[in-house]
Amino acid sequence: MTDCDGWHETRIRVRYKDTDRLGVVYYGNYLTFFEVGRAELMRSLGTPYSKLEAEGLSLVVTEAAAKYHGNVGYDALVTVKTAISEARGASVRFEYRVWSEEGSLIVTGYTVHACINSNKKPCRIPSELKALLEKHMKTPAVSPS
């Protein structure tokens, strides 16, 4: 589901295998949660990754960052909010917010992706895809006056 400000929501149930010895989600698994959110956002726009790949394109990660604000454990239900914040040339940037079922912010982050063709060479995002991404870009935050 994508809301009016451009954020798409995906719910994920934390599996036992997602946790570490302390019983909380292992920090690296949040990148997997980001991937799930991103894939579901693209699917909701009618452009799942399988369709891009069938057209000879891939969006490969060139940069990733995460900031950890809290944690959850096994069987917790988290909501991954994903938004497109930038699309230009051959790259697109996604932002993420992971929330606990109780409404606590757990992780924030982003990934930047390069568009590559079937020869694994960088290429411009096709105009139709770029227009779709721009149409669903998140609403910029309004600065207080």
Residues with active-site annotation = 20
The residue assigned the tokens 């995002």 is 125
Bridge partners (DSSP) of residue 82 are 8, 96
Q: Are 3 and 139 in contact (CB under 8 A)?
A: no
Q: Which residues contact 59 (CB under 8 A, 6 or more apart)?
A: 49, 52, 92, 113, 114, 115, 116
* Torsion over CA: 30, 87, 128, 52 (sign): negative
| 3-state SS assignment for residue 25 | strand
Going across the sheet that includes 8-13, the strands are 8-13, 77-88, 91-99, 105-116, 58-68
Query: What secondary structure letter does DSSP report for 83?
Result: E
